[in-house]
Amino acid sequence: MENMLPVYQYPTVTVLVDDSQSFLDSLVFQLAPQMGCKAFCNAGSALDWVRQSYRQHPFSDGNGLIRVGYDENSDFLERRNVSIYLDRIYRIVMDRTRFALPSVLVVDYAMPQMNGVEFCRAVRDLPCKKILLTGQADEKIAIDAFNRNLIDCFIQKHDVSAFDRLDAEIIRLQREFFNEQTHTLKDLLTRHSYGFLSDPAIQHAVYQLSVRYRFVEHYLFPNPPGILFFDNHGKPTLMVIETEGGLTTQHEIAEDQGAPAQFLSALRERKLVPFFSDTGGMYLKEIADNWLSYCLPPQVCMGREVYYWALFDLPPHYLQGPIYSYSEFSRDQAGGLQQYAGW
């Protein structure tokens, strides 16, 4: 799959399945600081929990944000209307159950109830990614399972670098999970005003910002186009991403609205990025005396085209209520206060 920035991504659950409690304890200890884990010694219980999680999760299929309608008076399938609920993308953050979605399964091959390949076959219809832990003697079995698309990768569990590789593979597969779940949505968006989703330069910038500011969630933001981040405590930060064309449109609208010459000059010379958060995203006459408070100096990103971006605090009126943050989820999980099935 093409390496693209997911339309949205948030922390999810990594499910660990192994009949050895001591090995599970070691895995949880190694992985818990970076990601939420749910461990099972019983393969049947793990299977039930994973299936129940997908039945309960409203955003397990990101393509549900798309509605396709057809012209009933036409016999041509090409004559169809596509509606994308852009505002609903970032409002996924209002869903308290989002962090409980299992995106990656780490399954031991040698288990008494059912082996790891049998387990992965049993969840073949689910979109979660699958890592098989094997012994040296199981490598041919793992290769066969990989070739049959039953697993996404395999790791020899007693290899000296097994934990490091497992950590890297989980991160990679979580990103791939979200890319696959929103591929139709992403394809439609990148054909229009959100081409930056497929630009490696913007993808790199987003990941750098996530590391620098410890952002743990991101969502496509529709107007102005950009990426909305949330940190561990649910604080939102908007990366407004403008192109030459976008800033030219901003300039034309502001000029028609009789904007101050200083603002028009700075916009024309690409010395600022605006975020008119109180006027629907565009300049209006009523903010003529206060335009500077809506603008920041741009950072320049050279990709397939030139991007100008800046980080803004997101005003509260864009959200519909308090955010259930990942730190709250982690606290509830540690305290045994989960309200979701199986926790």
- Comparing 152 with 65, which gets the higher pLDDT? 152
- Comparing 332 with 177, which gets the higher pLDDT? 177
Residues 134 and 162 reside in one and the same domain: yes
Q: Is the pLDDT of residue 340 over 60?
A: no
Alpha helices in the chain (DSSP H): 21-31, 43-56, 86-90, 116-122, 139-147, 162-181, 183-190, 200-213, 244-256, 261-268, 326-334
Domain at 132, CATH number: 3.40.50.2300
Q: Which residue has the tokens 């309608």?
A: 69
- For the chain, the average pLDDT equals 86
User: Tell me: the pLDDT tens digits for 5-20?
Assistant: 899 999 999 999 999 9
Q: Are strands 8-9 and 13-17 parallel, antiparallel or unpaired?
A: unpaired
> Phi/psi of residue 221, each to 5°?
-110, 135
Residues 128 and 175 reside in one and the same domain: yes
Residues 107 and 244 reside in one and the same domain: no
Q: Tally Cβ neighbours within 10 Å of residue 217.
A: 24
* Buried/exposed 58-73: b ≥16 CB within 10 Å, e otherwise: ebbebeebeeeeeeee
Report if residue 66 sits inside a domain. no
Residues 42 and 161 reside in one and the same domain: yes
From 118, 153, 181, give the residue that closes a domain: 181
pLDDT band at 55 (very low <50, low <70, confident <90, very high): confident
Residues 34 and 169 reside in one and the same domain: yes
Residues 99 and 140 reside in one and the same domain: yes
Domain that holds residue 263: 199-318
User: Tell me: the pLDDT tens digits for 75-129?
Assistant: 444 445 556 778 888 988 988 889 999 999 999 999 988 999 999 999 999 999 9
Residues 28 and 102 reside in one and the same domain: yes
pLDDT at 339: 36
Residues 118 and 244 reside in one and the same domain: no
Residues 160 and 235 reside in one and the same domain: no
From 121, 146, 181, give the residue that closes a domain: 181
- Comparing 126 with 36, which gets the higher pLDDT? 126
Q: Rounded to an integer, what distance in angstroms lies between the CA atom of residue 322 and that of residue 7?
A: 22
pLDDT at 215: 97
- If we measure between CA atoms, which residue out of 313, 323, 304, 342 comes closest to residue 55? 342
Report if residue 325 sits inside a domain. no
Q: Rounded to an integer, what distance in angstroms lies between the CA atom of residue 230 and that of residue 228?
A: 7
Secondary structure (3-state) at 247 = helix
Task: Work out how many domains the chain is built from and give that number.
Answer: 2
> Which DSSP state fits 287?
G
